[in-house]
Structure 1
Amino acid sequence: MDLGIVREIGPQELISHGIRPVGDRVSLRARERTPGSITLLTLRGASSEVAIDTMRAHPEHAVFAFIEAEALWSRAPDEPWLQIEAGLVIAAPGIARGLRCQGRWSATLALVPRAAMASFVSALPEDAQLFTERRLLDRAMQDFVEGLLDADERATAIERYAVEQLIVEMGGAILLDRVGAVSGHGSPRAVLRDRAIAVISQQCGDPGLTPTQVAREVQSSLRQLQLVFAEADNSVAGEIRRQRARLARSLLVDSRYDVLSIEQIAQRAGFQSPMSLRRALDEAYRTTPRVLRAQRRA
């Protein structure tokens, strides 16, 4: 498959993605683009029913789905139909539901490896979540993905790489924005912790990042920030180390960074030395840089 082009795909190829139209007269227009490890899909149709099970078709991928419909119903297996509103669906484990759409409708999906998402939040949500209130960031991601699927130009290798990285960054930022707000239940202390984690996630590659600098970025005292993290059995320094370990792991399992030495990986991930990198990987994953690369090659 040429990863640089957009393809019109039919029912059998949709089924390979875990999407199956229900009924003989269902007519869907579907397009696909696969930049790297990410799969982008768009579906458009009239009143119809669709069964979706990306958990089997893409078991290692999280799903960001942007759904527009005049009227929409959804159900889990062996459950009744429930009317829902259109909006953004975040499903870290994938989607396994039926959708019944009335009138003109469209769905735009970005399937992103969960391993890439794990570097942005401390824990991925276990269930699919629907957000009907749209925000600037998820609208921007939807527009970006739809633009990629509407364009027929072939992407160069550099463009494919850039698209993959941008979608990972946008998806990760949406997780920080949406999942953090849900897990924090709106409490000021949890919101402060989420803001600090967002800063750490964005800046962990800077070897000069310290707890004091994080506190300054979120306009808090270091003591207050340390107390907030302690409530979650964590520390600011521990979160910085964890985020750096996740960044290093993502570089070590990506073949595009095989040209970098372990020392260069450590530098990119914000560690002062390869020994600091090894200690952090052992603490977070009980593994070593050499083992991670060997497993990926195997």
Structure 2
Amino acid sequence: MGQGNVREISAAELIAHGVRAVGARSPLHALERTPGPVILLSLHGITTELAIDTTTAHPEHAVFAFVDAAGLSTKTPDGPWMPLEGGVVLAAPGVTHHVRCEGAWRVTAAYVPRSALGAFVAALPTVAWILTERRPLDRAMQAFIEQILDTDDPATSIERYAIEHLIVEMSGAILLDRVGAASGQRSPRAALRDRAVAVIAQQCGDPALNPTLVAREVQSSLRQLQLVFAEAENSVAGEIRHQRARLAKSLLIDSRFDVLSIEQISQRAGFHSPMSLRRALDDDYGTTPRALRAHRSEERETAVR
């Protein structure tokens, strides 16, 4: 199947994603979809022990997993088995655990590049979180992944981009909402800045986005928000420009968007003109739109050889 389509994968292929069934007595069913750097998985079976090590299989990815099982217990490689309620697993550094699923069980997971989550929080957590309470966004993300994996219709390049973009946005929002609040390590001012950065990352493609609208979204005065960004030696307008440059770069290095002109790329990234795009890319990355595309083409030709 082509990139981005759903396919059933074998136990050997599942190992490549850091999941291995230990002494399985019943079949394990797994579906995979990779719309881009994001990896979507669905696993289900009956009474299975799983050895999970995504940190080795995908060292650059965070894991967002939704676990439903009649009975569940987990342990680290050298620790004892501990009972656990099914819930939401948020693991920015990945997962390294043994898990025992009793009865009928199902795991729905998204592996998301950690680099994409940096737009939502200032610092990713260094430990995994297992949360038993499911909030509306948790359930919505799980349902979205399951729906994407339940249809084997081929996905167009735009659909693959949309799926990847939505998964990253939902993952970032869950991370900001759940882990940021649970850790209690962020000051109120830093938390306000994190929320504003998340809003900007999600809405930077809208050319109407400006500091006043960002302040309204995070329920802050513009002056207060500007002071919070100044403490981090940044500005709200500067962050908007940076996020637009980040979005434009991701579009320019993605072959699925080669059909778009530089002007169309600038519009999709929220810039008012191609000149504004060029200046932002030069300031943030020291490059140009054409140079990004040319470099990507050279890498592809080298790989083919």
TM-score by length of 2: 0.81
Q: Cα distance, 1:226 vs. partner?
A: 1.7
Q: Per-residue CA shift, 1:255-291, capped at 9, x if unaligned?
A: 1222333343233222344454344334444544344
CA contact (8 A) 1:64 1:90 kept: yes
Aligned partner of 1:261: which letter? S
Aligned 1:218-297 pairs, distance under 5 A: 218-297=218-297
SS across alignment from 1:47: strand
Aligned 1:30-41 pairs, distance under 5 A: 30-41=30-41
The equivalent residue for 1:140 is 140
Deviates more, 1:245-254 or 1:25-34: 25-34
The equivalent residue for 1:216 is 216
- Return 5+ residue gaps in structure 1 as ranges: none
SS across alignment from 1:207: coil
- Return 5+ residue gaps in structure 2 as ranges: 300-305
SS across alignment from 1:260: coil
Q: Cα distance, 1:232 vs. partner?
A: 3.8
Q: Cα distance, 1:96 vs. partner?
A: 2.6
SS across alignment from 1:62: strand
Deviates more, 1:81-90 or 1:183-192: 183-192
Query: In 2, Cα distance between the equivalents of 1:184 and 1:274?
Result: 42
Say if 2:129 is the partner of 1:90: no
Query: In 2, Cα distance between the equivalents of 1:184 and 1:272?
Result: 39
Aligned partner of 2:178: which letter? R
Calculate the aligned-residue CA RMSD, in Å.
Answer: 3.0
CA contact (8 A) 1:63 1:90 kept: yes
Q: Cα distance, 1:186 vs. partner?
A: 7.1
Closer, same or farther: CA 86–225 of 1 in aligned 2, 3 Å: same
Aligned 1:102-113 pairs, distance under 5 A: 102-113=102-113
The equivalent residue for 1:56 is 56
Runs of 4 or more, structure 1, over 6 Å off, are none
CA contact (8 A) 2:5 2:155 kept: no
The equivalent residue for 2:72 is 72
In the alignment of these two chains, the number of paired residues is 297
Closer, same or farther: CA 99–233 of 1 in aligned 2, 3 Å: farther
Query: In 1, Cα distance between the equivalents of 2:164 and 2:194?
Result: 25
The equivalent residue for 1:44 is 44
SS across alignment from 1:200: helix
Aligned 1:115-130 pairs, distance under 5 A: 115-130=115-130
SS across alignment from 2:71: strand
SS across alignment from 1:46: strand
The equivalent residue for 2:7 is 7
Deviates more, 1:86-95 or 1:130-139: 86-95
CA contact (8 A) 1:89 1:131 kept: yes
CA contact (8 A) 1:119 1:247 kept: no
Query: In 1, Cα distance between the equivalents of 2:79 and 2:245?
Result: 41
Query: In 1, Cα distance between the equivalents of 2:162 and 2:259?
Result: 18
The equivalent residue for 1:155 is 154
Query: In 2, Cα distance between the equivalents of 1:112 and 1:266?
Result: 25
SS across alignment from 1:141: helix
Closer, same or farther: CA 129–249 of 1 in aligned 2, 3 Å: farther
Query: In 2, Cα distance between the equivalents of 1:76 and 1:295?
Result: 43
The equivalent residue for 1:23 is 23
Q: Per-residue CA shift, 1:78-99, capped at 9, x if unaligned?
A: 4444444321122234323221
CA contact (8 A) 1:116 1:250 kept: no
Closer, same or farther: CA 26–283 of 1 in aligned 2, 3 Å: farther
Q: Percent identity?
A: 67
